[in-house]
Amino acid sequence: MFTETQFGKSRRRAELLAKCVLGMMVASMIIPLFLIVGYLVKEAWPLLSLDFLFTNPTGGMRHGGIWSALLGTLYLVTLSLLIAAPIGVLAAVYLNEYARDSWFTRIINLAVVNLAGVPSIVHALFGLGAFVLFAGIGRSILAASLTLAIMTLPVIIASTKEALSAVPISFREACWNVGASRWQTIRGIVLPNSISGILTGVILQVSRAAGETAPIMFTGAVFFKKIEAGNIFAYSIWDQCMALSMHLFTITTQVTDAPRALPFATAVVLLGTVLIVNALSIGLRVYLRSRKKW
């Protein structure tokens, strides 16, 4: 019979202690999240309905729904994603696959990292000066989406670079050995095997773009705009729009005598919109990751 030594017992106790500590740290992050979401849903429940989603605000924002703000948020997130995702992915492909390691590329990488830490209000002032005034676009969905795209580019570039770096170099060498060009290797091997990591950056982009207030407040969002209820094409990219994040700020700080459940219901819809988009992206990422052969 083998008996456990004192050293083995101490190691097992240390491992159990570490597992408990790590488990408590995870619980300390998850439990408050569920409590916050549960509290929001509880307070918002009296107003949550399809009518709330598909009707416009009325009575000075005190009654009605959030259709114009919800549709504006979808426009801003979708358009900023269509602008930022291709540019960010292609920039990351160049930096990781083509650019040589030099002082210039190191400066670019440093600039990308620093750009991710710039406060959103600074991006808002840049968008106001560059797109609204200098480019002459004016305050519009397009100007706000361009500002959000600039703000979220560093996240997409960084996550895409990490995903590209995770593809084994042997994959590239095998393609080069059979005569494939560098672009053929990237297009046929590297990008398909890194798509799940690229989607991580897209998920983070959607979450941040949907929740920002300052960039759109300066470049395209308005206090109130009535549109045709239920019409998903009610906005043009040259129009100003309402947005859920700014609408939540407005009814919380500017509107008096609003129903108590109104800001909570708006917050739940904003949170639910982000979670739905993220869930779809995560599901696609899991599916693509399951198809990997390595």
Tell me the pLDDT tens digit for each residue of 14-29: 899 999 999 999 999 8
CB neighbours of 109 closer than 8 A, spacing ≥ 6? Answer: 95
Q: What is the DSSP secondary structure assignment for residue 119, as one 8-state letter?
A: -
Cα distance between residue 15 and residue 9, in whole Å = 10
What average pLDDT does the structure give for the chain? 86
Tell me the pLDDT tens digit for each residue of 235-277: 999 999 999 988 888 888 888 888 888 889 999 999 888 888 8
Go through the domains of the chain in sequence order and give each one's CATH number: 66-289 (1.10.3720.10)
Residue 221: beta bridge partners?
241
- DSSP string for residues in 19-80: HHHHHHHHHHHHHHHHHHHHHHHHHHTTT-SHHHHHS-EETTTTEE--HHHHHHHHHHHHHH
Burial of 111 (0-12, 13-18, 19+ CB in 10 A): exposed
pLDDT of residue 49: 87
Residues in the chain: 294
Arithmetic mean of pLDDT, 127-151:
91
Tell me the pLDDT tens digit for each residue of 20-55: 999 999 999 899 989 999 999 999 998 888 888 888
Cα distance between residue 45 and residue 111, in whole Å = 45
Among the ranges given (79-93, 119-133, 222-236), the one the predictor scored with the smallest mean pLDDT: 222-236
Q: Is the pLDDT of residue 147 over 80?
A: yes
Amino acid at 35: L
- List helix spans (H) across 167-290: 169-177, 182-185, 191-211, 214-219, 244-253, 261-290
pLDDT of residue 24: 94
Tell me the pLDDT tens digit for each residue of 170-188: 888 888 888 888 888 888 8
Max avg pLDDT among 98-107, 148-157, 224-233: 148-157
Reported confidence tier of residue 293, pLDDT bands at 50, 70, 90: low
Reported confidence tier of residue 231, pLDDT bands at 50, 70, 90: confident
Q: Is the pLDDT of residue 141 over 90?
A: yes
Burial profile 127-147: b = 16 or more Cβ within 10 angstroms, e = fewer: bbebbbeeeebebbbbbbbbb
Q: Is the pLDDT of residue 294 over 60?
A: no
Q: Is the pLDDT of residue 282 over 70?
A: yes
Tell me the pLDDT tens digit for each residue of 189-213: 888 888 878 887 788 778 888 888 8
Cα distance between residue 224 and residue 234, in whole Å = 14
pLDDT of residue 115: 83
Cα distance between residue 262 and residue 15, in whole Å = 48
- Percentage, residues of the chain above pLDDT 70: 97
Amino acid at 156: I
Tell me the pLDDT tens digit for each residue of 72-84: 999 999 999 899 9
